[in-house]
Structure 1
Amino acid sequence: MKQPAPESAATPADRLEAWAHQVEESCVPMVYSMTSDGAFEGEMLAVENGGVHVSRIAAVDHVAKYRRRAMSSIEDDYLLVSIQSRNRSAIEQDGRVAVVYPGDMVLFDASRDFEWHFSGEHYTVRFPRQLLTGLAPLSRQHTAVRIPGEDGIRRIATEHVATVHRELLLEPTCGEARAGLAGVTAHLVAVALADFFNRMPTADTNLKTMHILRARRFIDEHLRNPELNPDRVAAALGLSSRYLYRLFSHEHESMSERIITGRLDGCAAWLRQPAYAHLSITEIAMTWGFNDPSHFSRAFRRHAGVSAREYRRLSGVGAGVHRLGCVAS
């Protein structure tokens, strides 16, 4: 959605007010002021991606102030990530100021006041708080910190955001594909943030949360390994199994539950996709780390409420490929 600053606004103040209304939909409500006497000019290109809003904003130098207590109309709770693409900007929050340059990222939190000194062009990604904090233990100490994005996973994340924005403008997706893409965006950004903050000194109070995050990431990245189990996770992280079990005892799911649920979700995703219609159900199950077809069949039925064969049929893919010696149930 392309939204230029309205030319019809009578005065500079009117143009800023009209701009504020446009930006609010994809970011948060803010109050704007100019840093010079010139006319305000700006353009926003916004896309919605399964609850994640991605905007590319280009404008003349200005200041945007967010005051949480004054914004009684804001109903949802968001975390925002800005990626600078031209010139430089500054974000002030929680007693810090982050000056960001092209390629840099910065996190800010819509539950507290912030001030944005804007110049040039940037991408802003607005995440529902629970979506991002479910993937990375983000807190007050992580806001308004410059996160260089020139290499590694951070560069992958920033380039992904730009690509998603460009492609959704050209060819919008819908339904499950859009929701899946939102999850990919959230995961990449969360991993990029965690990668950076893991390299910085971390408060002792966050060490347990960091261990849990690392364990979850290891599990998610190794679901297809049939030998994956909690003891292997602990060994890979250099922690004792007893300590890691104790950390997860306070979480909503154990390590074993995360492993089985992740594998079942992976199987379900493949069963829904025509690209894997040539694979039997057993082949899909084995690819996702199961080594006992009977155990998979029982677990999948409990997870989805129907058999894997019926799930595939209801998804419109068909009954799958049946080969001699393969169990498809």
Structure 2
Amino acid sequence: MGERDAFAYWREMICATFVRLAAEPVDGPRFSGSIEHVPVGDVELSTVVAGGQHVRRTRGLISAGTEEYLLASIQVEGCGRVEQDGRVAELSPGEMAFYDSTRPYALHFDEAFHQLVVQVPQRELWLRDTRGLTSRTLGAGTPGAVVAAFFRSLSETAANSSDGGFGLVPHAIGLLSAAATYAGGAPPAREAVESLTSQRVLDFLRRNLSDSTLDADAVAKACNVSRRTLYRALDGEGVATRLRRMRVERARELLAADRDRPVGAVASACGFATESGFYRAFRAATGETPAEYRRRCGTAGQ
């Protein structure tokens, strides 16, 4: 397939995945690109890895269709630019920006890039007027960083999990709405604040699972919330209970992935203060000992 044909096929692919778009490659080596599209309920997640290109959503293309989506580009590698409503958002890895399919926009990638694109029907969001929130860069120190990390994790979960992450759809839409509200500078709705707080707490717990001294007071202080707010953020589940569940889940991953790691080392890596405590928690949660679980995983993989 020639370079011209390859990009024509790519153009058809991005139109089928997102909305009707015009696109042209950046001058350079032979074009290549891939899209991994994973729908999770009303949330569509698309991992895009491709060569440099310029993409436009024109008035003519808008008038020819009925798509009404809010999209968010989360930069993973390389750099990009989002242009809409008279603004330009410069994206570096870890940053995100919104754009609206009902108005013209442009995406520019001067070199090869890797993005996660989140696409949600506007009817599912908590906000209606998007003109103030498009093409604004959200990065470190903003809710965008929390939301970007969540969606990257959700994308991996949806691609590899049997349930496809459908149970997380309400939370996902809430987080996206919260980030969009922040981008527009509007006072966040109560639901948006709660979604962001919940995700911030869960992110902190995941990063600190190996700390066996972690308790409710330490988590509340680190996340700058009260113990009452912390309890609500965990859906009424105590910190100790949620940590134990997350630690057992992490232990299952380690036991299956690294069969040579001693069980005591797995226990320590997952934040259990003693090996005996790990055995009790693991058996109570799974109905089998760590050794039995590891043996069963090894048998299933043969």
Which bin holds the TM-score, normalised by the shorter protein?
0.5 to 0.7
| Structure 1 residue aligned with 2:216 | 230
> What is the letter of the counterpart of residue 277 of structure 1?
D
Structure 1 or 2, whichever has the larger Rg, is 1
Write the distance in 2 (CA, Å) between the matches of 1:77 and 1:270: 37
> What is the letter of the counterpart of residue 53 of structure 1?
T
- Given the alignment of the two structures, is residue 31 of structure 1 paired with residue 13 of structure 2, yes or no? no
Among 273, 282, 288, the residue aligned to 1:306: 288
The alpha-carbon distance between structure 1 residues 84 and 213, as it changes in their structure 2 partners (threshold 3 A), is closer
- Given the alignment of the two structures, is residue 113 of structure 1 paired with residue 102 of structure 2, yes or no? yes
| Structure 1 residue aligned with 2:204 | 218
- Given the alignment of the two structures, is residue 248 of structure 1 paired with residue 233 of structure 2, yes or no? yes
Q: Conserved in 2, the CA contact under 8 Å of 1:47 and 1:53? A: yes
Consecutive unaligned residues in structure 2, runs of 5 or more = 39-44, 121-126, 166-177
Cα shift at 1:259: 1.2
Cα shift at 1:78: 7.0
| Structure 2 residue aligned with 1:55 | 49
Q: Conserved in 1, the CA contact under 8 Å of 2:248 and 2:282? A: yes
- Given the alignment of the two structures, is residue 277 of structure 1 paired with residue 260 of structure 2, yes or no? yes
The alpha-carbon distance between structure 1 residues 311 and 33, as it changes in their structure 2 partners (threshold 3 A), is closer
> What is the letter of the counterpart of residue 5 of structure 2?
P
The alpha-carbon distance between structure 1 residues 114 and 225, as it changes in their structure 2 partners (threshold 3 A), is farther
Write the distance in 1 (CA, Å) between the matches of 2:104 and 2:2: 23
| Structure 1 residue aligned with 2:113 | 123
Q: How many residues align?
A: 251
Cα shift at 1:287: 2.9
Write the distance in 2 (CA, Å) between the matches of 1:277 and 1:126: 34
SS in 2 for 1:315: helix
Q: Summarize deviations over 1:227-275 as a string: whole Å, max 9, x none.
A: 1122211122333213322x326x385533431122112211111123x
> What is the letter of the counterpart of residue 56 of structure 1?
A
Q: Conserved in 2, the CA contact under 8 Å of 1:80 and 1:124? A: no
Write the distance in 1 (CA, Å) between the matches of 2:230 and 2:63: 38
Consecutive unaligned residues in structure 1, runs of 5 or more = 8-14, 131-137, 162-174, 184-193, 319-329
TM-score between both structures, scaled by the size of structure 2: 0.59
Write the distance in 2 (CA, Å) between the matches of 1:109 and 1:227: 43
> What is the letter of the counterpart of residue 215 of structure 1?
V
| Structure 2 residue aligned with 1:91 | 83
SS in 1 for 2:88: strand
Cα shift at 1:43: 3.2
Q: Trace 1:1-329 onto structure 2 (pairs within 5 A).
A: 4-6=3-5, 18-24=9-15, 27-32=17-22, 43-46=31-34, 48=36, 53-59=47-53, 61=54, 63-65=56-58, 70=65, 79-82=72-75, 85=78, 89-92=81-84, 96-101=85-90, 103=92, 105-108=95-98, 113=102, 115-119=104-108, 120-121=110-111, 123=113, 125-126=115-116, 143-147=134-138, 179=160, 203-205=187-189, 206-245=192-231, 247-248=232-233, 251=235, 254-274=238-258, 277-279=260-262, 281-316=263-298
Cα shift at 1:224: 0.8
SS in 1 for 2:12: helix
| Structure 1 residue aligned with 2:41 | none
> What is the letter of the counterpart of residue 90 of structure 1?
V
Cα shift at 1:207: 3.5
Work out the percentage of aligned pairs sharing the same amino acid.
17
